[in-house]
Amino acid sequence: MRTALASLLLIAATAHADEPLSAAQRFAREAIIVDTHIDAPSELMKQWRDLGVDAPGVEFDYPRARQGGLDVAFMSIYTSPEDDAAGTARQKAHMQIDAVEALAARHPDRFALLRSPADVERLSQNRRVLLALGMENGAPIGDDLAQLEVFHRRGVRYVTLAHSHSNRIADGSYSLDRPHGGLSPFGEQVVKEMNRLGIMVDVSHLSDDAVRDVLRVTKAPVIASHSGMRRFTPGFERNLSDALAKAIAKNGGVVQIVFGSGFIDARAAADTTAYFRALAAFQRELEAARARGETPAKTLAQFDAEWDAAHPKPETRIEQVVAQIDHAVKLLGEDHVGIGSDFDGVGGALPVGLKSVADYPNLIEALRQRGYSDERLRKILGGNLLRVWREVEARAEKR
């Protein structure tokens, strides 16, 4: 009964497939589209949804992915600084990987796990969406370098070294506390071990000094899995400066442009920076109240709710993403730019026209209107990322 119902839901969700396709939709189905940052695993931890059929309330599922022409979806294995502090990051990372594996096993005709760029063509036959793994925050490895190999065996193919706050590996771009001045000595070992294993080093979320240190240490190209260009968000360190983006490209790497409103709009970016400063002050107040044996006046959830009410996200447009891509291509060259949406990771704060994985054709059409050729589009949509992945894999120590 459940299988029959799932089939009916899939048919209903894909009924539009009988309608004539636009030129952009046809191209999306022909090109290889690789999105390096989709936060579906975190959503699965909150509430299990069958993403093999139409799943209301999410930005990634199989029907939407096929509608948009998505071929390779990097599932973000995200753990927070709080998970790190509580000692639960490793367990949560493995649970999320389990969830992705369960999804693929549940629908072997719709999903397949991807561990090497060499397998894209073979595994994507019959319109399957390929699920690769990227770990957002190096916290799950703890102080144990050997854990990198454990996660590599489980399929993790990039690691974002830090997230939001500084950790034992590197300083984070949002963090006011920067104990390492870039990478820590342990972080340098992490980068070298990732090079050895063939895991891509991801510099999104890092401080400027940490990005520079990564580029000094690495022997392989690096990626920024979901970052914007700081030119459009002055003072927002989470996005890449032109100088750092050029250094990544010079190293052979690729900058994957993010879609989230908080990264493409100057006001939203300024609010994000202000939020982390206010949050740091609030957390100090919480700690002081607890040290005095007092009950805090408000909880973190209340703080967040009040902040969100006072700082509504501005409406953004697909043209703002196109402007970021266009600037990056002109600055870095067409071989060093890709896409990393952050779907399911920004609370729905996305530009008009790019609300889910069904909407890549809208981006294709907008770039075509800017004069982008099919050859350039193929590189940006996935070719550049696959090139870097192949090079990182080729440079890995043979095992």
Domain ranges of the chain: 2-15+22-265+314-395
Predicted TM-score of the model (pTM): 0.93
Contact 135, 151 (CB under 8 A): yes
Strand ranges (E), 91-197: 111-113, 129-136, 156-160
Give the DSSP per-residue string, 72-119: EEEEEEE--HHHHHHT-HHHHHHHHHHHHHHHHHH-TTTEEE---GGG
Please state which CATH class domain 2-15+22-265+314-395 belongs to: alpha beta
Quote the pLDDT of residue 86: 95
Q: Give the chain's radius of gyration (CA, Å).
A: 20
Residue 166 and residue 76: Cα distance in Å, rounded? 19
Backbone angles phi and psi of 195, in degrees to 5: -55, -45
Quote the pLDDT of residue 265: 97
Quote the pLDDT of residue 276: 86
Whose CA is closest to 171, among 154, 158, 160, 184?
184
Mean pLDDT by 10 residues, the chain (399 residues): 39 52 96 98 92 96 98 98 95 98 97 98 94 98 98 98 96 95 98 98 98 98 98 97 98 98 95 88 86 87 91 94 98 98 96 98 98 98 98 87
Estimate the crossing angle of helix 185-197 against helix 208-217, to 10 degrees: 50
